[in-house]
Amino acid sequence: GRAARAGARRAGGLRGGIAVFAAVAAVFTLTLPPSVPGGDSGELITAAHELGENKVSSFCWERRFHVICICRLSGSYAGGILAAGVFSFSRLTWQWSIAAEVFSLNNLFVGLLMALTVHFEEAATAQERSKIAKVGAFCCGLSLCNQHTIAIYVLCLIPWILFRLLKEKELSPGSLLKLSLCFSAGLLPYIYLPVSSYLNQARWTWGDQTTLLGFLTHFLREEYGTFSLAKSEIGSSMSEILLSQVTHMRTQLSFNIQALAVWANICLTKKDRQSPSLVWLFTGMFCVYSLFFAWRANLDISKPLFMGVVERFWMQSNAVVAVLAGIGLAALVSESNRMLNTNGLQYLEWLSAILFVTCQIYSNYSICDQRTNYVIDTFAKNLLSSMPRDAIILLRGDLPGNSLRYMHYCEGLRPDISLVDQEMMTYEWYLPKMAKHLPGVKFPGNRWNPVEGILPSGMVTFNLNHFLEVNKQKETFVCIGIHEGDPTWKTNYSLWPWGSCDKLVSSEIVFNPEEWIKLTRNIYNWTEDYGRFDPSSWESVANEEMWQARMKTPFFIFNLAESASLPSNVKAQLYTHAYNLYKEIVYLQKEHPVNWHKNYAISCERMLRLQERSADPEVLLSETIRHFRLYTQKAQNDPQLADISVALKHLRKELRSLRNMKNG
């Protein structure tokens, strides 16, 4: 009977799921990064470390649910293997499953909720449906404790489950109350937030949840915008994001997988298909999520790094497409068997599933193998080791903030240094919570604001200049960049380059170029080749920062020379220093940032105009022309290209005249 067939499929699906789980776990474990990766991993690990709890690793359990889901829906083990394998070993899923991020746990809940939905649909008795509904309600609540984007799927599943119960005449006020209680029980982990906030033992945490308003602010992510990816960002259009999602899905899963997912829906027209409502439900979940996310994703995906942020959220929709593709494969084979009046295509079904999964592994293994990836680790260690003892670092941005905090708090590097987050200092909860964990730093108030005073709440605000004045006894650095909203520091301080960071130095101190060059020339030990990482990766951002750090001192010295107030002999000295430093770094490596060509060319041109110079004018002119030409070839988007082309014509004429004078 139906129960016997369902039991057989359940047992087979469970065995297949365990086998897939073991295989995926083995591959993912083999390719795990040895240290902190980029993105939010450093922040999440640090917060977990400080709160005394471990980051839950779920990087491959959701694959097991994919197998179970398809085996139960279609009776096809090959379809389950296809869905789990293609999704698991796509570059996107693989990359974020081996990182300490929320996405792998979100994938787990997506797979779990879909598997429970199938289990509910196949339940033979009211008692079984009631039990599954309660477990599902609990899992819905629990899933919302991890990542809020799954709320879209939850909002699709809840009405469907309630409708099915109503249709079976199994929905009563009592059962609805029980389901609500189960859902609420799933939200219980949120209780830890006010408890942890009240105890205030963590050296790094987020928000003040001791009040209802503070809890809701944290729950709704109001600092960054509820259901938005960033604060005050203007993103790409909805149509652009949807088109990119489809294109990206084809890259990650292949066109064949997309076609099979579509075929699963086409086959619903057949009256003998099993569980057609579930396929429509999953398709509806995919469509609603894709439309909602495209509407709320307020980031410009033309920028590689922002594209890397957005694409992570497409995993949630890719998981559904993979399941639909598995169902589509089973339907295609079943339909072909019926038309050809044979059962011999099962081998072809298995062969195609294995082929698809093998291709995914072959295509993505080298990209996703992170066993030797120490890039973020080395970046953070270089920044920390370059700092003098007892320094204060004002952090800005995810890359330095998350990686330095991880090294400082979790691995215990440079305990003498104080890490203060610039952005967080503008939040009203940050200093009341964190100041006691920064004993080496003096705060002249409760909140950073360009306008000093007392707020109606009694909170005392201070500006950056005041902060620097009360911490004069310590050396203060900004990494990377300084908050543009408060220019008060400029009255008494200057920014001097310190690798990727900058040092805030009193304006009374006179800049000594020779001494500063000696201090910053070999500040980092960085051996990564330029341009070797994918532009959307955090490794690429770290690599770019470390390469550009080599250029910051000559750039700073050149800008000083451009100041009109300096005597001519001082200008000449500064121009010469900048020229020599630029020449050194430009010829050190064959591949380097393209803006170095432009900066070096301008430096050569300035040297050419000096009355007293050590370099040959013909050499300087040739270098100026050569590097301007190289720059125009590589920097196609520079709005000054037309002006540079005009300058090149004049420089070539000047070079010809100079050579004619020499030969004449």
pLDDT at 421 over 90: yes
402, 42 contact by CB (below 8 A): yes
pLDDT value, residue 54: 33
Average pLDDT (214-228) is: 77
Output the average pLDDT for the chain.
88
Domain end, chosen from 336, 368, 400, is at 368
pLDDT at 229 over 90: no
pLDDT value, residue 341: 75
d(CA 79, CA 274): 15
What's the pLDDT tens digit per position in 423-448? 999 998 999 989 999 998 999 999 99
Q: Is residue 571 part of a domain?
A: yes
Look at the pTM and tell me if it is higher than 0.75: yes
Q: Is residue 514 part of a domain?
A: no
pLDDT value, residue 323: 93
Average pLDDT (583-601) is: 92
pLDDT band at 56 (very low <50, low <70, confident <90, very high): very low
Q: Are residues 488 and 417 in the same domain?
A: yes
Tokens of residue 490, six digits = 């400029």
Q: Are residues 327 and 415 in the same domain?
A: no
pLDDT value, residue 219: 81
What's the pLDDT tens digit per position in 306-322? 898 899 999 999 999 99
Q: Are residues 527 and 494 in the same domain?
A: no
- CATH number of the domain that 590 lies in? 1.25.40
pLDDT band at 205 (very low <50, low <70, confident <90, very high): confident
Q: Are residues 489 and 630 in the same domain?
A: no
- The 3-state DSSP class for residue 302 equals coil
Q: Are residues 469 and 534 in the same domain?
A: no
pLDDT value, residue 457: 87
pLDDT value, residue 11: 52
pLDDT value, residue 61: 46
Average pLDDT (567-583) is: 92
Domain end, chosen from 310, 340, 368, is at 368
d(CA 380, CA 38): 11
pLDDT at 35 over 80: yes
pLDDT at 52 over 50: no
pLDDT band at 565 (very low <50, low <70, confident <90, very high): confident
Percent of the chain whose predicted confidence (pLDDT) is above 70: 91
Q: Is residue 233 part of a domain?
A: yes
pLDDT at 271 over 70: no
Q: Are residues 83 and 218 in the same domain?
A: yes
Q: Are residues 258 and 277 in the same domain?
A: yes
Strands 460-462 and 453-454: antiparallel
Q: Are residues 39 and 158 in the same domain?
A: yes
Average pLDDT (116-137) is: 93
pLDDT band at 51 (very low <50, low <70, confident <90, very high): low
Q: How many domains is the chain partitioned into structurally?
A: 3
pLDDT value, residue 58: 40
Q: Are residues 33 and 86 in the same domain?
A: yes
Q: Is residue 550 part of a domain?
A: yes
d(CA 225, CA 214): 15
The beta-strand segments (E) located in 130-227 are none
Q: Is residue 457 part of a domain?
A: yes
Residue 446 C-alpha from the chain's centroid: 31
Tokens of residue 105, six digits = 């746990």
pLDDT at 74 over 80: no
Residues 6+ apart with CB under 8 A from 68: 10, 13, 14, 16, 17, 80, 115, 118
Q: Are residues 61 and 184 in the same domain?
A: yes
CA-nearest of 296, 300, 304, 303 to 224 is 296
Q: Is residue 488 part of a domain?
A: yes
pLDDT at 14 over 70: no
pLDDT value, residue 18: 78
Q: Which residues, in sequence order, are bridge partners of residue 462?
A: 448
pLDDT at 68 over 70: no
What is the domain range of residue 485? 374-509
pLDDT at 595 over 50: yes
- The 3-state DSSP class for residue 190 equals helix
pLDDT at 50 over 60: yes
Comparing 578 with 662, the larger pLDDT belongs to 578
Q: Are residues 293 and 398 in the same domain?
A: no
Q: Is residue 516 part of a domain?
A: no
Average pLDDT (24-48) is: 86
Domain end, chosen from 476, 509, 542, is at 509
Gyration radius (Cα) of the chain, Å: 30
pLDDT value, residue 292: 94
pLDDT value, residue 580: 94
Q: Are residues 585 and 641 in the same domain?
A: yes
d(CA 451, CA 161): 54
Q: Is residue 515 part of a domain?
A: no
Average pLDDT (7-24) is: 66
What's the pLDDT tens digit per position in 339-376? 887 776 778 888 999 999 999 999 999 999 999 999 99
